[in-house]
Amino acid sequence: MPDFALSFAAFFGLLLVLIGAGLWLFVAILLIGIGALYVDAGWSLTRIGLILQTTTWSSARAWELSAIPLFIWMGELLIRSNIAAAVFEAIAPLTRRIPGGLVHANVLGSTLFASVSGSTAATTATIGRITLPALSQQNYPRRLALGSMAASGSIGILIPPSIPLIVYGVLAQVSISDLFLAGILPGLMVAGLFMAYIALLSLLTGSDKRVTPPASSATSLRRVLDVLPLVAIILAVVGGIYTGLATPSEAAAIGLGATIILIILRGQFGLSLMRETLQSTVRVSCMIGILLVVSGFLSSAMSFLHIPQQAGAAIAALDLSPALLIVCLTVFYLLLGCVLDGVSMMVMTLPVTAPMAIAAGFDPVWLGIYFVLTMELGLLTPPIGFNLFILRGITGEGIGRIALSAMPFFLLLCLAIALLTVFPGIALLLPGLS
């Protein structure tokens, strides 16, 4: 136990020092993996190089990775078109009679957009630019508008297609189709919790505005028809995976093709759009890809050093209940979320924490949803919560005010994790039916 604790602390301590010194994360992970095998295992650099060569090839040629650039490109195309604005215009009239009014458009818009973008950054930035000015113009409470947008944007990493779920599936060797199905009900649960809080708060404080002007029947029908193609894309992607007619990669290709056709029909297709979206897609895909490659090497290094086995033995020796283990892991990821983004946290920690949790009896599919929910917590955690910084860039508000505004939704995410732990069927129901 002491040896494992010392190795664990030294690993993460050195990693944070290297990152703090300005090294890229993938370089820091690579150096630690090489150093661990060279110093602790006494391997020669030649032998380490052979392991690096093998794991690099094995990680880079995983077929599941092909879905990542396709989903990212699809999200980029939707960001740079006016499809998100059309979604907002269709949703806004539906929220008029709900306590909280237009604030619900943050949640509903983010949930719908997340179903096709798979990106938290894309969802938060796109929906936030549309809804926040409208909410400000109609004098909705600023803190409620900021907090709901910061939290709702995080739904993008839970509802399929989800880039973090693909990353987890590749790292943990879990079916991505099962993970996508498992993310649907928890994502809807989180959205439901957010909307219930918004409605309850609006009723209790008397801040229910309901000032969204009513639209004519013809206008409402036109707005709904305008977003039907987007709904069709969602059904094609998720339905293809759920029915088993398409793998996640095939569903991504179908969704991307449908998105391009939709943009062409809307008259927004052009060379500049293709160039901008492809450049952004390549940058993000390469970042994720290289992290996955070095993570594969780090996992192999830890296996050779028997760290996962030591972690399992350490947890068994502590005799922690499953609930207490989840509490400890949640606090651990919450602390990491103060300084790291979600994918980085996953790449750094899964080689240790996943075997630990699986050895404690947790289902690998359920575990993936849990990890993503804790990543959502990290997105709202100051000082580096990613969604907080995105909203700061959009609104110019102070990071402290945005963080305080998001705090109630942060607590709701903690409640969602508790519900998921007590009722694991929330995540496992749909994969069990497929």
What string of DSSP letters covers 229-295? Answer: HHHHHHHHHHHHHHHTSS-HHHHHHHHHHHHHHHHHHTT---HHHHHHHHHHHHHHHHHHHHHHHHH
Q: What is the dihedral of CA 145, 185, 126, 118, to 10 degrees?
A: 150
Instruction: Give the tokens for residue 133.
Output: 């000015």
- CB contact at 8 A, 213 and 231: no
CB 84 within 8 A of CB 126: yes
- Distance CA(375)–CA(368), nearest Å, equals 11
Between CA 241 and CA 160 the distance in angstroms is: 10
Domain range for residue 115?
Answer: 2-433
Alpha carbons 298 and 294: distance in angstroms, whole number: 6
Tokens coding 95: 């929220």
**What residues have CB less than 8 Å from 236, skipping those under 6 apart?**
251, 254, 255, 258
Contact predicate 186/416, CB 8 Å: yes
Question: What domain count does the chain have?
Answer: 1
pLDDT of the chain, 434 residues: tens digit per residue = 445 556 666 766 777 677 677 777 788 878 888 888 888 778 888 888 888 888 888 777 777 678 778 888 887 787 777 776 777 777 777 777 788 888 888 888 777 776 666 667 667 777 777 788 878 888 888 888 888 888 887 776 788 777 788 888 888 888 888 998 899 899 889 989 999 999 998 888 866 555 555 555 666 667 777 777 777 887 888 788 777 788 878 888 888 898 888 888 888 888 888 898 898 888 878 877 787 788 778 777 877 877 666 666 666 666 778 888 888 888 888 777 665 666 777 777 787 788 878 878 889 999 999 988 888 787 787 656 677 877 887 787 887 888 888 899 989 999 999 999 999 999 999 888 86
Q: DSSP H helical segments within 118-210, as ranges?
A: 120-137, 142-152, 163-172, 176-205
How many CB atoms sit inside 10 A of residue 389's CB?
18
φ/ψ region of 214 (left if φ > 0, alpha if ψ in -120 to 50, else beta) reads beta
User: What one-character DSSP code corresponds to residue 434?
Assistant: -
Note the pTM of the prediction, 2 decimals: 0.76
Q: In this structure, what are the phi and psi dihedrals at residue 219, rounded to the nearest 5 degrees?
A: -65, -45
C-alpha 237/C-alpha 243 separation (Å) is: 10
